[in-house]
Structure 1
């Protein structure tokens, strides 16, 4: 083993470790620069777009099906999609031909966190608007940064902290629907409160991905996380799954389920885990700042109504916070 400190452009390697593990170690310990850094940012921009649309699709499907049943079914289908991706790209799902991955409890932890997030999301969308739930989602970067400090001892710069607080202020304004009286009396809706629990779980997810990853390829890691989440949700939503008349649901449930399965389950899991290995946890989730603005546009152009200017201003504040964070020199993960 070399005794000197590795430079950012020439990370140290050990002949005793496989290349994939070494590559992951260099990502975890070095400043991410160049193309890898840009790919992480582009992955999260796409993530934000897909997540934003999921709130509108979820709001359409939520009244017609049990939250646990819908969440479990989409994760089962997403696991199949990821399995097919692994099959056609020839990525092995386990090492050394074992039936299960090493330390499968890692994936049970991650799957449980995401399961709570998605169940609370659909329960919240039954009684809260997509815009307000999307605003709660923008609190995630601040929460994720906190978990990054706890789990990974990550440093949060002053500029990054300021941007996180600005975004949180904008999100809170949207959550309270631009009503100063409701804000002062802390009159938060039940749906927003329910979803906040899920957002806390999702905030812990990003830093835990890096902490629990052992050098597995992203496709392999994503598959086992999806499968674990599907298993957890199948247990939670067992009654809803059995009692749902799957052949006679409204068409909107099938279309929404298809979108949620392919784009905001399989693909976003891949994007989130890809970016989590290349960017700080707070920056990974900072792209959630874009969700209220995207949701406002989606809801407005789809004919479901526009928010009042005061609420739109709160969403704009979160976007400005993202711009501040983008220039924060906090690229060490």
Structure 2
């Protein structure tokens, strides 16, 4: 007989889900410095492929630890084919877009994801987003854009949607579909086992892109710091953040889950200051506070 969760258990789960997504945003922010370092040392397609190969081993170890049984081909494997394809497409478009545009512009495109996810959640899961939640998302997005452009109104007005932004927009679209599909495709698997198969299929797609370039990299000449960065990307940014995303997606509506991505620019700014790379101006801090207030309001609203 299936155990029915009590209201207190549900409430506790939602609080933990919000905390998980706060940690998610902080860990993703930390990956920008390490990812930028690694990306300068090798082809981005190869880098992403190697990152996911390492993640497969990490997730496989964790999956075996929770299931305590040999791996068997998953039931309805087409689910993981779709999810792995969406994630790999998002990763590749992000790196491809950066060949044409700046991280600032791609960050502005990224802020569209929660609102897009709200639309897909309605279409896929019949999950309606209340007007108050949408309003809080818009407020949080406005603060995030202000932070991304460092409080420069002229930089915002001069934003020009070019080839890079359009490429990344297609990737953001794929990621926005991915989150509501997690709930739709859930068949009761443990989140770690579910995540393992998503990374396996994503790695297969990435191999198609990286294959022709794998032999061109002089691996012996790659700095140890790059390998440490790759390890951070594989273990922390991919494996751990995936489990956090999976945990939160089963307890919160998709727009609330992705809204925490708005905090990533603020965490990046904070990290850069702590590392001694300089602190931002007060107008930028004000934008970060607007985002935080928008998210706090959203978290307090009923799902």
TM-score, with length taken from structure 2: 0.88
Say how many residue pairs are matched. 303
More helix by share: 2
1:84 aligned residue = 61
Query: Counterparts of 1:1-333 in structure 2 under 5 Å?
Result: 19=2, 33-92=10-69, 99-124=72-97, 133-188=106-161, 192-330=165-303
- Check the 8 A contact 1:63/1:126 in 2, yes or no: no
Worse-superposed segment, 317-326 or 240-249: 240-249
1:246 positional shift = 2.1
Distance 1:233 1:122 in 2: 12
Structure 1, residues 174-233: CA drift from partner, whole Å, max 9, x if none? 455544344335424765554333222222111000111111111110100010111110
Structure 1, residues 240-281: CA drift from partner, whole Å, max 9, x if none? 223222222133321210100000111111111111111111
Structure 1, residues 280-329: CA drift from partner, whole Å, max 9, x if none? 11111122121111011112222334444444433332222111101111
Q: Unmatched 5+ residue regions in structure 2?
A: none
The root-mean-square deviation of aligned C-alpha atoms, in Å, is 2.7
1:151 positional shift = 0.8
- Check the 8 A contact 1:128/1:191 in 2, yes or no: yes
Instruction: Report SS of the residue matched to 1:33.
Output: helix
Instruction: Report SS of the residue matched to 2:73.
Output: coil
Distance 2:52 2:175 in 1: 16
Distance 2:296 2:224 in 1: 39
Distance 2:70 2:196 in 1: 8
- Check the 8 A contact 1:91/1:220 in 2, yes or no: no
- Distance change in 2, residues 1:127/1:170 (3 Å): farther
Distance 2:286 2:144 in 1: 10
1:116 positional shift = 1.9
TM-score, with length taken from structure 1: 0.81
Distance 1:199 1:125 in 2: 14
After TM superposition, the runs of 4+ consecutive aligned structure 1 residues lying more than 6 A away are none
Distance 1:288 1:83 in 2: 27
Structure 1, residues 125-167: CA drift from partner, whole Å, max 9, x if none? 5666656644543432222212111111111111101011112
- Check the 8 A contact 2:81/2:201 in 1, yes or no: yes
Worse-superposed segment, 74-83 or 312-321: 312-321
